[in-house]
């Protein structure tokens, strides 16, 4: 048989070989016969095998593509049969039965005492408290080395050890390079760029609370200056001094002086000027005489307190001041551009002295006591020597063997025409690192930011250290999930060359909040990272003397501790009773060159930075001291030493002035505070014995409440020793115990203790001195009474 395909895609049957043919014609009475057996098809064996192989391959492919859901279902079933059900049958069901039996037994015994439902809860609390105590005291809780803690408090040794590993000196160098890449005087484009960089650094270090505080203040900028001088015998041989924008004193007054006399005054101190008076050098000068030829300008060297030099010159009747800069090695052409603001009467905006912005009407600049009203002009040492050569060797001879000259010997023309802006913007960049316990209390770590020049060594070094400290704090937070017990603010202050306008305006704007929250301010502007001498000078409040004299955290530094006796961004805090500390290296504190000059560049500082071996120790010292201030459970104020230091000052005054003054009220106040100091020492011993020795760092709740109360009382000591009226004639300074003297000059350290009493004695005004002595004594008595009563809000 054959099957064939026809043209119509049909299949025709051609018959079998043994089958009889059927005619085309049809039979009327017979049907075609069927084959006796089914037909056999002629398929070759090879084709059959190929078909089977194809079918087998397709079946195998289907088995490989098993759905993932089926696999997951099979795994779940196996896990349930092999693990879950056996665990439930062997462990969980017997344990549940056992617990049920135990619960019934407990209820049975508790019912014999009282209501089982209530007693069960007490029993549960007792058991869980015991377990918590056992875990915490045994160190099983993850708060040991894993979290940098001991019990409930931080283990500073662990944090300090990690800080050593986290120091990044290369970042410090990059920060210093950028900060020193441009001049950045307050209110300039350079300052805006630097302030933005610091703000971005705060954000990059994880601070969430960052604010750019803007204030409008009186300011001035370099302008046109000129100086011409000649001698009496050769008026036609006048010398013109080439001057430029380096010959500039911030906050200096403008003025033009024609044909005025030149008198040399050495350092322009009260003692130097008294010599001029005693020798009748200025006798011919009559302030009421309109003859300009009798007017004079004082030529002097810079001293420590430039504001006092300007005050003394004004009181003497000088029409102007010329400052001679110090040379830097053989370089006698550099000019020191120092501010001539007068912080003795207060810091901040000259037009709003003692108040913020629009709180009161601003005053006229000519009426402000915080800026001079005679022009000043700084010159280089080379220019100064040329000017001195015009003064004859007559008059008063000073310690440097130079002579003052007489009226009429040397004349000059002097013009100062700087650009003045009465309401120019300055910036404070404020960042907050939040605490975890007493979050209503905080410290401030601050640094000045602005410089007329590039300011690599000062103040940029302080800013770099501020950013490095912040980075270390954030490293601790990320590593150990750590927060200090109290808040810390990192503040970059603007306006420091404008009589510390930035810090003062911030304080005036937020006065009450600052006094309530901030218990100390630490300034790090005057630190150097290139000084290998490993010496630190710390000016601080008497409450913190013991804290900084402690040998445990000196990092190998030779630390000298003394009273505050220098002006800076800390003054508005000091003036309002907030204890301050100024950490300095001696060279920067003394403004060693090239500070205040155009030579204060990164290139000059970089080599010293790389050579220094003390940079790491300095950062660790700052970090350790900061940790103790914000994270020690007890705020480290020492009342006993505070009273001892004040008592020493009192004894000195009693020995000198007991014939003129009655010290009884001050002694009564001192005695009251000595009693408080004894109570404080007793409390410290009790707390340490209970918490540190017996409980392994775990503080009972009742003890915590007492500790918080003591801390709050300690924070209020300084603010309660202020007078709302301020010092006589200087209302800005409210602190009657620690404030600047009107005239500090070369007084020994401690001159700023009891300032109003000492100022009155200096003026021989014994009635005023007695009034101020009684005021201080009464303040001591009242502050002691408030401390004992635990009053929390008393204004001043």
158: CB partners within 8 A, 6+ apart? 145, 148, 149, 480
What is the tens place of the pLDDT at every residue in 499-532?
Answer: 999 999 999 999 999 999 999 999 999 998 877 7
The per-residue b/e assignment along 644-675, b for 16 or more CB within 10 angstroms, e otherwise, is: ebbeebbeebeeebeeebebebbeebbebbee
DSSP 288-317: T---GGG-EEEEEE--S-HHHHHHHHHHHT
Q: Identify the pLDDT of residue 581.
A: 98
Indicate whether 52 pLDDT > 80. no
- Do 743 and 783 belong to one domain? yes
Indicate whether 149 pLDDT > 80. no
Quickly state the pLDDT bin for 84 (edges 50, 70, 90): confident
Q: Identify the pLDDT of residue 65.
A: 64
Q: Identify the pLDDT of residue 42.
A: 45
Contact 615, 623 (CB under 8 A): no
Q: What is the mean pLDDT of residues 33-61?
A: 45
Contact 321, 268 (CB under 8 A): yes
Whether residue 16 lies inside any domain: the answer is no
Indicate whether 725 pLDDT > 90. yes
**Alpha carbons 452 and 217: distance in angstroms, whole number:** 17
Last residue of a domain, one of 421, 452, 477: 421
Q: Check residues 763 and 357 and name the one with the higher pLDDT.
A: 763
Indicate whether 382 pLDDT > 80. yes
Q: Identify the pLDDT of residue 609.
A: 63
Three-class secondary structure of residue 373 per DSSP: coil
Give just the sign of the alpha carbon dihedral 694, 697, 701, 705: positive
Token digits of residue 317: 């009747």
**Alpha carbons 178 and 774: distance in angstroms, whole number:** 53
**Alpha carbons 458 and 565: distance in angstroms, whole number:** 19
Quickly state the pLDDT bin for 18 (edges 50, 70, 90): very low
Q: Identify the pLDDT of residue 206.
A: 85
**Alpha carbons 700 and 689: distance in angstroms, whole number:** 12
Contact 646, 542 (CB under 8 A): yes
What is the tens place of the pLDDT at every residue in 612-634?
Answer: 667 889 999 999 999 999 999 99
Lowest mean pLDDT among 205-219, 239-253, 346-360, 740-754: 346-360
DSSP label at residue 109:
H
Whether residue 779 lies inside any domain: the answer is yes
Tell me which residue of 118, 500, 529, 105 sits closest to 342, measured CA to CA: 500
- Do 477 and 621 belong to one domain? yes
Range of the domain at 690: 641-789
Q: Check residues 138 and 422 and name the one with the higher pLDDT.
A: 422
- Do 617 and 578 belong to one domain? yes
Last residue of a domain, one of 365, 394, 421: 421
- Do 604 and 662 belong to one domain? no
Domain count, the chain: 4
Tell me which residue of 688, 543, 522 sits closest to 621, measured CA to CA: 522
Q: What is the mean pLDDT of residues 160-185?
A: 93
Give just the sign of the alpha carbon dihedral 52, 58, 62, 65: positive
190: CB partners within 8 A, 6+ apart? 182, 183, 184
Q: Identify the pLDDT of residue 28.
A: 44
Q: What is the mean pLDDT of residues 442-471?
A: 97
Indicate whether 25 pLDDT > 60. no
Run of H or E residues at 154: strand 153-154
CATH of residue 731's domain is 1.20.930.40
Quickly state the pLDDT bin for 1 (edges 50, 70, 90): very low
Residue 264 phi/psi, 5-degree rounding, is -85, 135
Q: Identify the pLDDT of residue 61.
A: 45
- Do 630 and 713 belong to one domain? no
Indicate whether 82 pLDDT > 90. no
- Do 395 and 458 belong to one domain? no
Cα 81–chain centre separation:
64
Please state whether beta strands 255-264 and 296-301 pair in parallel, antiparallel, or not at all (unpaired). Answer: parallel
For the chain, the C-alpha Rg in angstroms (whole number) is 43
Run of H or E residues at 256: strand 255-264
Token digits of residue 331: 């370089």
Run of H or E residues at 229: strand 209-231
Lowest mean pLDDT among 5-19, 147-161, 717-731: 5-19
Q: Identify the pLDDT of residue 150.
A: 55
Whether residue 19 lies inside any domain: the answer is no
Q: How far is CA 707 from CA 403, 492, 515, 687, in A?
A: 64, 32, 20, 8
Q: How far is CA 238 from CA 244, 262, 292, 323, in A?
A: 19, 14, 19, 20
- Do 125 and 162 belong to one domain? no
Whether residue 367 lies inside any domain: the answer is yes
Q: Identify the pLDDT of residue 791.
A: 52
- Do 223 and 213 belong to one domain? no
Tell me which residue of 634, 653, 616, 683 sits closest to 777, measured CA to CA: 653
- Do 256 and 397 belong to one domain? yes
**709, 713, 715, 720: CA torsion to nearest 10:** 150
CATH of residue 431's domain is 3.40.630.10
Quickly state the pLDDT bin for 69 (edges 50, 70, 90): confident
Indicate whether 226 pLDDT > 60. yes
Q: Identify the pLDDT of residue 90.
A: 87
Whether residue 381 lies inside any domain: the answer is yes
Q: pLDDT averaged over the chain?
A: 87
The proportion of the chain whose per-residue pLDDT surpasses 90, expressed as a percent, equals 68
- Do 443 and 403 belong to one domain? no
Whether residue 1 lies inside any domain: the answer is no
Whether residue 358 lies inside any domain: the answer is yes
What is the tens place of the pLDDT at every residue in 536-548?
Answer: 999 999 999 999 9
Contact 350, 365 (CB under 8 A): yes
Tell me which residue of 350, 514, 488, 515 sits closest to 426, measured CA to CA: 350
CATH of residue 232's domain is 3.50.30.30
What are the strands, taking DSSP E only, across 332-375? none
Token digits of residue 78: 């196996």
Q: Check residues 776 and 46 and name the one with the higher pLDDT.
A: 776
- Do 202 and 275 belong to one domain? no
What is the tens place of the pLDDT at every residue in 666-706?
Answer: 999 999 999 999 999 999 999 999 988 877 778 888 999 99
Q: What is the mean pLDDT of residues 707-726?
A: 95
**Alpha carbons 221 and 8: distance in angstroms, whole number:** 109
Q: Identify the pLDDT of residue 56.
A: 42
Quickly state the pLDDT bin for 267 (edges 50, 70, 90): very high
Q: Check residues 284 and 235 and name the one with the higher pLDDT.
A: 235
Rounded to a whole number, what is the largest CA-CA distance in the chain? Answer: 173
- Do 376 and 429 belong to one domain? no
Whether residue 34 lies inside any domain: the answer is no
pTM attached to this predicted model:
0.82
Q: Identify the pLDDT of residue 539.
A: 98
Token digits of residue 400: 């440097």
Quickly state the pLDDT bin for 135 (edges 50, 70, 90): low
Last residue of a domain, one of 141, 176, 196: 141
Residue 580 phi/psi, 5-degree rounding, is -125, 155
Q: Identify the pLDDT of residue 83.
A: 82
């Amino acid at each position: 048989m054959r099957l064939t395909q026809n043209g119509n895609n049909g299949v025709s049957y051609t018959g079998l070989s043994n089958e009889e043919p059927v005619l085309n014609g049809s039979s009327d009475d017979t049907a075609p016969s069927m084959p006796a057996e089914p037909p056999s098809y002629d398929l070759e064996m090879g084709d059959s095998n190929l078909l089977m192989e194809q079918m087998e391959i397709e079946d195998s492919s289907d088995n490989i593509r098993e759905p993932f859901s089926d696999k997951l279902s099979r795994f779940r079933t196996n896990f349930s049969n092999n693990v879950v059900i056996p665990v439930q049958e062997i462990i969980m069901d017997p344990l549940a039965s056992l617990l049920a039996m135990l619960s019934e037994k407990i209820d049975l015994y508790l019912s014999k005492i009282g209501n089982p439902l209530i007693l069960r809860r007490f029993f549960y609390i007792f058991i869980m408290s015991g377990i918590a105590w056992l875990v915490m005291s045994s160190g099983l809780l993850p708060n040991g080395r894993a979290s940098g803690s001991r019990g409930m408090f931080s283990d500073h040794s662990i944090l300090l050890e990690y800080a050593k590993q986290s120091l990044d000196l290369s970042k410090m160098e990059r920060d210093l390079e950028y900060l020193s890449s441009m001049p950045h005087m307050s209110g300039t484009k350079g300052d805006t760029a630097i302030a933005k960089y610091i703000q971005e650094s705060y954000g990059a270090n994880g601070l969430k609370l960052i604010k750019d505080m803007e204030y409008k203040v009186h300011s001035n900028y370099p302008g046109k200056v000129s100086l011409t001088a000649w001698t009496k015998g050769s008026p036609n041989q006048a010398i013109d001094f080439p001057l430029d924008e380096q010959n500039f004193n911030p906050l200096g007054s403008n003025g033009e002086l024609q044909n005025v006399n030149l008198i040399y005054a050495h350092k322009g101190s009260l003692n130097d000027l008294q010599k001029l008076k005693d020798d009748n050098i200025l006798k011919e000068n009559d302030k009421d005489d309109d003859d300009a030829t009798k007017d004079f300008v004082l030529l002097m060297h810079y001293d420590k307190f430039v504001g006092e030099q300007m005050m003394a010159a004004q009181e003497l009747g000088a029409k102007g001041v010329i400052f001679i800069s110090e040379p830097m090695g053989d370089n006698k052409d550099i000019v020191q551009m120092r501010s001539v603001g007068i912080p003795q009467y207060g810091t901040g905006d000259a037009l709003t002295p003692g108040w913020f912005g629009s709180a009161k009407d601003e005053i006229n600049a000519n009426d402000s006591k915080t800026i001079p009203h005679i022009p000043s002009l700084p010159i280089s040492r080379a220019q100064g020597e040329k000017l001195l050569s015009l003064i004859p060797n007559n008059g008063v001879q000073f310690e440097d063997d130079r002579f003052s000259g007489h009226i009429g010997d040397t004349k000059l023309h002097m013009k100062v025409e700087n650009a003045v802006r009465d309401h120019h913007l300055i910036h404070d960049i404020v960042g907050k690192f939040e605490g975890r316990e007493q979050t209503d209390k905080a410290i401030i770590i601050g640094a000045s930011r602005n410089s007329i020049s590039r300011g690599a060594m000062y103040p940029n070094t302080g800013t770099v250290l501020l950013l490095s400290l912040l980075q270390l704090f954030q490293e601790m937070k990320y590593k150990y999930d750590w927060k200090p017990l109290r808040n810390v603010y990192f503040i970059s202050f603007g306006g420091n060359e404008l009589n510390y306008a930035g810090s003062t305006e911030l304080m005036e704007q937020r006065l009450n909040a600052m006094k309530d929250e901030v218990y100390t301010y630490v300034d790090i502007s005057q630190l150097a990272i290139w000084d290998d001498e490993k010496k630190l000078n710390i000016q601080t409040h008497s409450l913190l003397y013991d804290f900084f004299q402690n040998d445990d955290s000196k990092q190998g530094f030779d630390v000298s501790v003394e009273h505050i006796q220098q002006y800076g961004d800390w003054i508005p805090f000091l003036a309002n009773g907030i204890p301050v500390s100024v950490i300095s290296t001696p060279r920067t504190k003394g403004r060693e060159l090239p500070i205040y000059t155009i030579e204060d560049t990164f290139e000059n500082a970089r080599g010293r930075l790389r050579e220094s071996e003390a940079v790491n120790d300095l950062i660790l010292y700052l970090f350790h001291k900061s940790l103790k201030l914000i994270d020690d459970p007890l705020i480290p104020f020492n009342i006993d030493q505070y009273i001892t230091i004040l008592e020493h000052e009192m004894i000195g005054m009693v020995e000198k002035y007991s014939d003129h003054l009655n010290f009884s009220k001050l002694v009564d106040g001192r005695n009251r505070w000595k009693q408080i100091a004894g109570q404080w020492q007793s409390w410290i011993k009790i707390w340490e014995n209970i918490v540190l020795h017996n409980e392994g760092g775990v503080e009972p709740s009742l003890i915590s409440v007492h500790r918080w109360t003591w801390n709050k009382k300690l924070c209020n000591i300084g603010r309660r020793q202020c007078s709302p009226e301020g010092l006589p004639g200087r209302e800005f300074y409210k602190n009657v115990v620690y404030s600047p003297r009107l005239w500090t000059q070369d007084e020994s350290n401690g001159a700023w203790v009891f300032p109003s009493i000492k100022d009155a004695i200096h003026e021989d005004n014994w009635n005023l001195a007695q009034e101020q002595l009684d005021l201080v004594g009464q303040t001591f008595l009242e502050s002691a009474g408030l401390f004992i009563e635990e009053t929390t809000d008393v204004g001043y």
